[in-house]
Amino acid sequence: MNMIILQDIAYFVLLVGLSIPLGIYMYKVMDGQKVFLSRAVAPVENGIYKIMGVKGNEEMSAKKYALSALVFSAVGLFFVWLIQMLQGVLPFNPASIEGTSWHLAFNTAASFVSNTNWQAYSGEAGLSYLTQFLGLTVQNFVSAATGIAVLFALIRGFILRQKATIGSFWTDLTRITLYVLIPLSFVLALVLVSQGVVQTFAPYREVAMLESRAAQTIPLGPAASQIAIKQLGTNGGGFFGVNSAFPLENATTLSNLLECLSLLLIPAALCVSFGKAVKDSKQGKSIYIAMMILFVAALGITTISEQYRGPVFEGIVTSGSMEGKEVIHGIGASSLWATATTAVSNGSVNSMHDSFTPLGGMIPMFLMQLGEIVFGGVGSGLYGMIAFVLLTVFIAGLMVGRTPEYLGKKVEPYDMKMVCLIVLAPLMCTLLSTAAAVMVPEVDSWLTNSGAHGFSEILYAFSSMGNNNGSAFAGFNANTVFTNVVGGIIMLLARFIPMAAAIFLAGNMSKKKAVAVSEGTLSTTNTMFVGLLIGVILIVGALSFLPALALGPIADYFTMR
């Protein structure tokens, strides 16, 4: 256990140490300042603007910004949907994989466009190389960039004074892709290749097994390039079916550390960017601390449960519950990854969450149900957390009988309507889709387990889709018409309703004039506010999901033998 604690401490030191300079760099990029990549990348950026027919300094209203983001995502949805169904007649398909069904193609397209990357298929068996790198990898970049773009539009809403515009979606999308996502992914992909992660267009190989004369097919493909951005962009989604538990996707201890570190790197760095952008680093620091406290608490519960609450077999010395975990990672690295991937909107796994202990599996589930705001998805996690900050400010204002303010802007009824959409849309998507699924007559045939654990498999699946995560309890058969269609719709709603609400919140904030700070202004940077923020988040989560959790993992815990 001491080694696990030291491992986690080293992880946090690396995370904080890397997130600060990256956060400052991203702020400079999105502020239009020159950075060390400007000389090489600026001509490419300007060339893209010319091809698109837009101006780099264009300004958009909230309505135009939202429409641009939605139309861009809709085009991506149609393209990814189409390429999957036609992959059987398209090139770069050495395994001769046929096109997918229309409903699986829709689900996968909705999943990757919404930055969910939920998968109801095994990548090496269900998709061609072309679909993987031209369809899914491209969406890994642009869906992540879209989330970050919307975050900076919201930040401008707080910065600007009495203006009707919040920047340009096309400029934000282009800059974050060229200056941040592509360079980071390129470097990470090279390191992963050095660790044994595959990156090739060669066909699958058949090799003789050592213990028998039978042959085994080794799946290959351009994996490292997709794995790098799937982790950095909080996309998730495995090139191979068993995701980062597969040796050719996560080969060594170093690759595991780098991939796990990548999960939180950009979401954590954006807290620093936020503080720099609003000219008050304490604002970003307070949000960073609140996220970190929730994350550390979740990690502690998950690790302790896996270390000490697993099944005990007499006469066998065990080091905790190793079911569903790779020996190379062990309990510590598996628990850290499970917590990180569900705290952010990622969903990649290096162990099977369905094999976790009831409480160990409940914490990742609850992290998703909070709205993926404990760092959360790139961009989307922070604008979700800002919505909770505004909700906390509003509640505090009601308690003292004062009009709530945040960053020099009054928080008014329209703003709270947008906040409610951001907070409640994923929650409602999760609960309604779970309720619909359990009433389907054939639901039992989708499950590996019955009883409380079977319900946990359903609840986890729709918590994942309803909060744009993408991980799953592997015992749930997701490739059904109901799950593909309903799940696809849920993923789109959970992504784009809060996103549109964040954009219109930004537009409304940018029109307001600044309010002078007075003695009655609530401080949003001190310890009391951080505690209040955490309390509001937990209360909303508990009130919303405690009954469902009681029927699933909590009941599973008390009936576990």
Q: Where are the alpha helices (DSSP H) in 31-160?
A: 38-52, 62-86, 102-113, 123-126, 129-130, 137-159
325: alpha, beta or left, given left = phi > 0 and alpha = psi -120 to 50? beta
| 490-526 residue pLDDT tens | 999 999 999 999 999 999 999 999 888 777 778 899 9
- Note the pLDDT tens digit of each residue in 128-168: 999 999 999 999 999 999 999 999 999 999 999 999 999 99
In contact, 378 and 144? CB cutoff 8 Å? yes
End-to-end alpha-carbon separation of the chain, Å? 24
60's tokens:
């958009």
Fill in the amino acid letter for 92: F
The bridge status of strand 405-406 relative to strand 215-218 is unpaired
CB within 8 Å of 13: residues ≥ 6 apart: none
Please calculate the CA angle 25-28-29 and round it to the nearest 5 degrees: 85
Instruction: Report how far apart, in Å, the C-alpha atoms of 332 and of each of 20, 136, 455 are.
Output: 25, 30, 27
Token representation of residue 26: 């991203």
CA atoms 362, 364, 365, 367: torsion sign:
positive
Strand partners of residue 362:
none
Our CA angle for 63, 65, 67, nearest 5°, is 70
Q: Which amino acid is at 27?
A: Y
Fill in the DSSP letter of residue 204. Answer: P
Q: If you ran DSSP here, which 8-state letter would residue 462 be given?
A: H
Q: Answer yes or no: are the C-beta atoms of 499 and 259 closer than 8 Å.
A: no
Q: Among candidates 196, 253, 188, which has minimal Cα distance to 225?
A: 188
Rounded Cα gap, residues 558 and 359, in angstroms: 10
Supply φ then ψ for residue 83, to 5 degrees.
-65, -30
**Using an 8 Å Cβ cutoff, are 360 and 305 in contact?**
yes
Tens-of-pLDDT digits for all 561 residues of the chain? Answer: 778 899 999 999 999 999 999 999 999 999 999 999 999 999 999 999 999 988 888 899 999 999 999 999 999 999 999 999 999 999 999 999 999 999 999 999 999 999 998 988 888 888 999 999 999 999 999 999 999 999 999 999 999 999 999 999 999 999 999 999 999 999 999 999 999 999 999 999 888 877 666 778 888 999 999 999 999 999 887 788 888 888 889 989 999 999 999 999 999 999 999 999 999 999 999 999 999 999 999 999 999 999 887 665 555 555 678 888 888 888 999 999 999 999 998 989 999 989 899 999 999 999 999 988 999 999 999 999 999 999 999 999 888 777 789 999 999 999 999 999 999 999 999 999 999 999 999 898 888 888 899 999 999 999 999 999 989 887 888 889 999 999 999 999 999 999 999 999 999 999 999 888 777 778 899 999 999 999 999 999 999 999 999 999 999 988 875
Torsion sign over Cα 42, 48, 51, 55:
negative
What the block records as the tokens of 134 is: 């031209």
Give the model's pLDDT for residue 439.
Answer: 93
Which distant-in-sequence residues (6+ apart) come within 8 Å of 477 by Cβ? 445, 446, 447
Helix, coil or strand: residue 209 = coil
- Compute the distance between CA of residue 422 and CA of residue 416 in angstroms, rounded to an integer: 10
Vertex 530: Cα angle to 524 and 532 (nearest 5): 95
Contact call for residues 500 and 472 (beta carbons, < 8 A): no
Contact by Cβ (8 Å): 368, 342:
yes
DSSP string, 517-560: --TTSPPSSSHHHHHHHHHHHHHHHHHHHHHHHIIIIIHHHHH-
Helix (H, G, I), strand (E, B) or coil at 411: coil
**Residue 389 to residues 281, 334, 399, 426, Cα–Cα distance (Å):** 16, 31, 15, 17
Q: Which helix (H) or strand (E) holds 257?
A: helix 253-277
> What are the CA-CA distances from residue 317 to residues 128, 154, 311, 321 (Å)?
44, 54, 12, 11
pLDDT of residue 561: 59
And the tokens for 123? 């990548």
C-alpha angle 368-374-376 in degrees, rounded to nearest 5: 70
Mark 295-333 as b/e (b = at least 16 C-beta within 10 Å): beebbebbbbbbbebbeeeeeeeeebbbeebbeebbbbb
Burial class (CB in 10 A: 0-12, 13-18, 19+), 516: exposed
pLDDT of residue 548: 94
Say if residue 518 is exposed, middle or buried (CB neighbours under 10 Å; 0-12, 13-18, 19+). Answer: exposed
